[in-house]
Copies of this chain bind each other. A is one copy, B any other.
Amino acid sequence: MPSISTKGQSMPESPIRKLVPFAEQAKKNGNHVHHLNIGQPDIETPQVALDAIKNFSENVVEYSHSAGFESYRVKLADYYKSVGIEVDSSEIIITTGGSEALLFGFMSCFNDGDELIIPEPFYANYNGFSTASNVKIVPVTATIDTSFALPPIEDFEKMITPKTKGILICNPGNPTGYLYSKEELETLRNIVKKHDLFLFADEVYREFCYDGKEHFSVMNLEGIDQNVVLIDSVSKRYSMCGARIGAVISKNKEVMATILKFAQARLSPPTFGQVASEAALNTPQSYFDGVITEYVERRNVLVDGLNAIDGVKCPKPSGAFYAIAELPIVDAEKFCQWMLEEFNYNGETVMMAPANGFYSDLNKGKNQVRLAYVLNVDALKNAVKCLDEGLKTYKTTIEKSTVVPASAQ
């Protein structure tokens, strides 16, 4: 039997999905599981997008252009203008989700062994795309004490080597929900310019900014337009993760021409998803207003509820729909598994993502969990109550001899 590749062996398993079998068991045991573990929004997809699919009238489901439908790219450029980003449709390539945008971007910009600096905790799948492209992730650690703000620029400077080729940020952040300020981004701009690096920015949560804070795009950083590669997706914006439509955007013509060659090899992005995504650009502002109001209320219920639990610490995020909480336990992965396998409160339990999967080293963030507030307010209240009861039981039965206050770890 021939052996699998070393790359295949080193591909990480999804930290979000590895507890799935325990959740399935919890359900078989008759318990209701509150899924705070995955960023699958429950928000309805805009009706205009669903209608476009229902009205699909072609008789042959053809390939599109490898860069995506021309009509979609033209309208997408208008959308970017409407959020203050000046791009031409020729500076946009439609991809199969933000995932493919990252993979093609990495393969086009980074040689085997090149180093990519990423503030951690970071979106776990960056590990996967880096492994697939032979890129080495160099983490710079953000801390819960600063609500996961951008680490001091000296921390980045210290990690620069001759192999450093880029920096990747997610703004607003998954898993932290932190929204970088213009000032933070300008410090990044300086280091990018100084060392002539690529700056990849995953801005798929652009619309999800709260408390009157505004999103500032890396596309508007001055003097580095040849360095910036923007990653985008319709998945969260229009609550249509399954459409698998994203985009990669850059003013760097050589980067775009190279990405197009990878895009040609896979022929085209999905046709149905593009039809839905093009139509989704006509979503009325009232839809987004409603969504933002809903998420702010959810965030408040979840984060305020968590901080009211003894020993739990959870910074209130200004963007996206995630929060990281530190729990008064030693090993969040064991606790998350126990919550599914052993615990229920009135027939309910909570599924969370252990946060160590969002760090480059599984020994970091061991007492943290990531929570996605993708359930309605009532469900979130029940989930918080459940977690509160779960922590009490866990501390008095399982970790009774080993409890260490979170602040002392």
Contacts and interface: CB of A to CB of B under 8 A. Distances in A.
Contacts of A56: 50, 53-54
Q: Is the interface on chain A under 10, 10 to 19, 20 to 34, or 35 or more residues?
A: 35 or more
B265 A244 contact: no
Given A2-B109, A63-B242, A99-B266, A261 B44 contact: no
A266 B8 contact: no
A254 interface: yes
Interface string A98-114: 01100100011111101
Contact of A96 (B13, B196, B270): B270
Nearest to A198: B2
A2 B226 CA distance: 8
A45 B9 CA distance: 39
19 contacts: A2-B109, A2-B196, A4-B254, A8-B108, A9-B258, A11-B265, A13-B261, A40-B62, A40-B63, A44-B59, A44-B60, A53-B56, A60-B239, A61-B240, A96-B266, A96-B270, A125-B264, A128-B261, A134-B134
A371 interface: no
Given A11-B265, A242-B271, A261-B8, A252 B60 contact: no
Nearest to A268: B242
A128 B404 CA distance: 53
Nearest to A6: B111
B241 A267 contact: yes
A265 B110 contact: no
Nearest to A110: B5
Contacts of A14: 66, 261, 264-265
A3 to B, nearest CB: 8
A272 B239 contact: no
Contact of A99 (B54, B267, B273): B267
Contact of A45 (B55, B61, B127, B265): B61
A227 interface: yes
Interface string A164-181: 011000000000000000
A262 interface: yes
Contacts of A49: 61
A128 B242 contact: no
Contact of A268 (B61, B114, B244, B268): B244
A269 interface: yes
A43 B58 CA distance: 12
A96 to B, nearest CB: 5
Interface in A105-134: 107-112, 114, 125, 127-129, 132, 134
